[in-house]
Structures are given as C-alpha cells and as structure tokens.
Amino acid sequence: MANQIVHFEITGTDPGRLQAYYRSLFGWSFELGDTVSGKVSEPGRYGFVDAGVAGLNAGVGGGASLRAKVLFYIGVDDVEAALGRAEELGGQRVFGPEGVPGKLVVGQFTDPEGNLIGVAGAH
C-alpha cells in the first residue's frame, strides 16, 4: 500500500556494535548484506531484520563515513514523483532515486524542519 511506513533503519558509524546492541536488547537477528545505495550503509555491513521479529521490515547498518540516525521509509508508487513533490512543498532532496527499477528504488529528503524521511518503491 502506498503512503504507509514500509521500513525503518538505524544506522551509525559502527554497524557491528549497533547490531550487537539491538541483538542483546530486543533479540533481533541480522542477515548481513548490501543496501541499494552506499549512502545508506557500507557494502556488506547492513543487517536486515525479519519483519516478523521487528514488526515491519528493518535494518541496522552504517559505516565510518555515515552519520548516526533513525529513519523510516514511506512506500510510494513513484520515488522521483514523491521527491519532487516534497521539494515543491518546501522540503529538500538528500538523494535519489537510487536502486533497481522494478525491484527497489529509494530516496531521502528533509522536510521544512530538517527531519530526514525516506521513500521507497519499485520506480
């Protein structure tokens, strides 16, 4: 469904430490892999969390060059259109669209107050 939260992620400069923390805190297990963009996490350091465990799709990752943040993604029909509309309304595009069209495409923007929001879709 469009316009619902479809994913959240927690990132920081030491993904392994974060994954160990959330494994101990909530019992989450992680399947390590790559994200669709290096702007989200360094290759091979993104830990995907099963939706049945975390309540919805989630990931914990990052890397030395990435800042710590908690971010949620809204499912949209068209990532480019959503980013364009966010800009029209006073937001600012951070990146995107990036990914594999037809499979998963993501982007991020800041709202007029500077809050970081992600959008995700198949194109």
Q: What's residue 26's pLDDT? A: 87
Confidence (pTM):
0.86
52-95 pLDDT, tens per residue?
888 889 999 999 999 999 999 999 999 999 999 999 999 999 99
Domains and CATH numbers, the chain: 1-123 (3.10.180.10)
Residues with Cβ within 8 Å of 13's Cβ and at least 6 positions away in sequence, in order, are: 62, 63, 64, 66, 67, 68
Helix (H) or strand (E) holding 84: helix 79-88
99-110 pLDDT, tens per residue?
999 999 999 999
